[in-house]
Structure 1
Amino acid sequence: MAVVLTFDDKRRKAPSIDALVALTAADLERVNAMIAARMSSPVSLIPKLADHLVSAGGKRLRPLLTIAAAQLCGYQGEHHVKLAACVEFIHSATLLHDDVVDGSDLRRGRPAANAIWGNKASVLVGDFLFTRAFELMVEVGSLEVLGILSNASSVIAEGEVLQLSTANNTTTSENTYLEVIKAKTAKLFSAAAEVSPVIAERPTAERAALASYGMNLGIAFQLVDDALDYGGTAAKLGKAVGDDFREGKITLPVILAFLRGDATERTFWTRVMEALEQNDADLPHAIELLQRHHALADTLERARHYGAMARDALGLFADGPVKRALLETVDFAIERTH
Structure 2
Amino acid sequence: MTATVHNLPRSQPSLSPVLALTADGMNCVNQIILDRMQSKIPLIPALAGHLIAGGGKRMRPMLTLASAALLEYEGARHHKLAAAVEFIHTATLLHDDVVDGSDMRRGKQAANIVFGNPATVLVGDFLFSRSFELMVEDGSLKVLKILSGASAIIAEGEVDQLTAQRRVETSEEKYLQIVGAKTAALFAAACRIAAVVAERDPEVEQKLDDYGRNLGIAFQLVDDAIDYDSEVDESGKDKGDDFRDGKMTLPVILAYARGDEEERTFWKDAMLGRRSSNEDLAHATSLIEKHGTVADTRERAKHFANRAIDAISGFPANEARAAMIEAAQFAVSRRF
TM superposition score category, shorter chain reference: over 0.9
Query: C-alpha distance in 2, partners of 1:277/1:26?
Result: 49
Alignment correspondent of 2:244: 246
Residue 97 of structure 1: CA displacement?
0.2
Does the CA-based 8 Å contact 1:209-1:316 persist in structure 2?
no
15, 19, 28: which one pairs with 1:30? 28
> Taking structure 1 as the reference length, what is the TM-score of the superposition?
0.96
Q: Give CA-to-partner distance per residue, 1:92-130, whole Å, 9 cap, x none.
A: 000000000000011101111100110000000000000
Query: C-alpha distance in 1, partners of 2:317/2:274?
Result: 51
Query: C-alpha distance in 1, partners of 2:276/2:113?
Result: 23
Equivalences, count: 329
253, 256, 259: which one pairs with 1:255? 253
Matched, 1:13 2:11: yes
Residue 204 of structure 1: CA displacement?
1.4
Counterpart amino acid of residue 161 in structure 2: Q
Alignment correspondent of 1:271: 269
Alignment correspondent of 1:5: none
Does the CA-based 8 Å contact 1:15-1:332 persist in structure 2?
yes
Matched, 1:51 2:49: yes
Q: Runs of 4 or more off by more than 4 Å in structure 1?
A: none
Does the CA-based 8 Å contact 2:154-2:181 persist in structure 1?
yes
Question: Gaps (5+ residues) in structure 1?
Answer: 1-9
Does the CA-based 8 Å contact 2:243-2:276 persist in structure 1?
no
Q: Give CA-to-partner distance per residue, 1:298-336, whole Å, 9 cap, x none.
A: 111110110110000001200011100000001100000
Residue 266 of structure 1: CA displacement?
0.4
Residue 21 of structure 1: CA displacement?
0.5
More moved, 198-207 vs 319-328:
198-207
Does the CA-based 8 Å contact 1:206-1:316 persist in structure 2?
no
CA gap of 1:11–1:135, structure 2 versus 1, over 3 A, is closer
Q: Give CA-to-partner distance per residue, 1:112-161, whole Å, 9 cap, x none.
A: 11001100000000000000000000011111100000000000000010
Q: What SS does the corresponding residue of 1:201 show, helix, strand or coil?
A: coil
Alignment correspondent of 1:184: 182
Alignment correspondent of 2:282: 284
126, 129, 135: which one pairs with 1:128? 126
Correspondences of 1:295-306 after superposition (within 5 Å): 295-306=293-304
Residue 36 of structure 1: CA displacement?
0.5
Alignment correspondent of 1:199: 197
More moved, 79-88 vs 69-78:
69-78
Counterpart amino acid of residue 261 in structure 2: A
Alignment correspondent of 1:100: 98
Counterpart amino acid of residue 84 in structure 2: C
Identity %: 54
Alignment correspondent of 1:164: 162
Query: C-alpha distance in 1, partners of 2:9/2:188?
Result: 29
Does the CA-based 8 Å contact 2:78-2:194 persist in structure 1?
yes
Correspondences of 1:77-156 after superposition (within 5 Å): 77-156=75-154
Residue 11 of structure 1: CA displacement?
6.5
Question: Gaps (5+ residues) in structure 2?
Answer: 1-7
Does the CA-based 8 Å contact 2:218-2:305 persist in structure 1?
yes
Query: C-alpha distance in 2, partners of 1:145/1:257?
Result: 41
Query: C-alpha distance in 1, partners of 2:233/2:276?
Result: 23
Alignment correspondent of 2:4: none
